[in-house]
Amino acid sequence: MPITIRKATINDALILANIEAECFPAAEAATLKSIQQRIKTFPNSFFIAEEGQNAIGFINGCVTNSRVITDDMFEDVSTHNPNGDFQAIFGLDVIPQKRKNGVAAMLMKHIIDEAKKSGRKGLILTCKERLIHYYEKFGYKNIGVSNSTHGGAVWYDMILEF
């Protein structure tokens, strides 16, 4: 069955919160309330992957002038600047049974294309050390250990500049 990508709507929030809880430890996972706020605040950078009518993954993040993600961005939607230079990636989630099938890459390529169309200067994200090589495949550069302490983990700042 083909995989399609579309903008998430508020009606998707509960299933997306369930996917988030399946993909991240509780200390790192966005809550249902947070996901609802994100969809309402930055609907143009919140995308869902579906196989048929089933949600199998999503990607989202605010737009900012910052070259790095700060912890406040995850919960404070007022940090979103629709005219900002960089598309932030807060989460790239794919349900476990659909991983290693290119779904994450489809979502990442989609949001990169959308950022280019929107005139952004690039994208930013944080990731754990084991995922640095994955994001480098898309052209991201590791700019070092992040100041983020989100969820008590060690994160690395990554940037993709156009």
Q: What pLDDT, in 10s, does the model give residues 37-95?
A: 999 999 999 999 999 999 999 999 999 999 999 988 888 888 999 999 999 999 999 99
Would you give the distance in Å from CA 158 to the centre of its chain?
Answer: 13
Q: Give dist(CA 136, CA 147) in Å, integer.
A: 20
- pTM (2 decimals)? 0.94
Q: Report whether pLDDT(104) > 90.
A: yes
pLDDT averaged over every residue in the chain: 95
The model's confidence at residue 150, banded by pLDDT at 50, 70 and 90, is confident
pLDDT confidence of residue 152: 86
Class of domain 3-161: alpha beta
Q: CB-based contacts of 28: which residues, under 8 Å, 6+ apart?
A: 150, 151, 153
Q: Report whether pLDDT(33) > 90.
A: yes
What does each C-alpha distance from 7 to 46, 67, 150 come to in angstroms?
Answer: 6, 24, 26
| Sequence spans of domains, the chain | 3-161
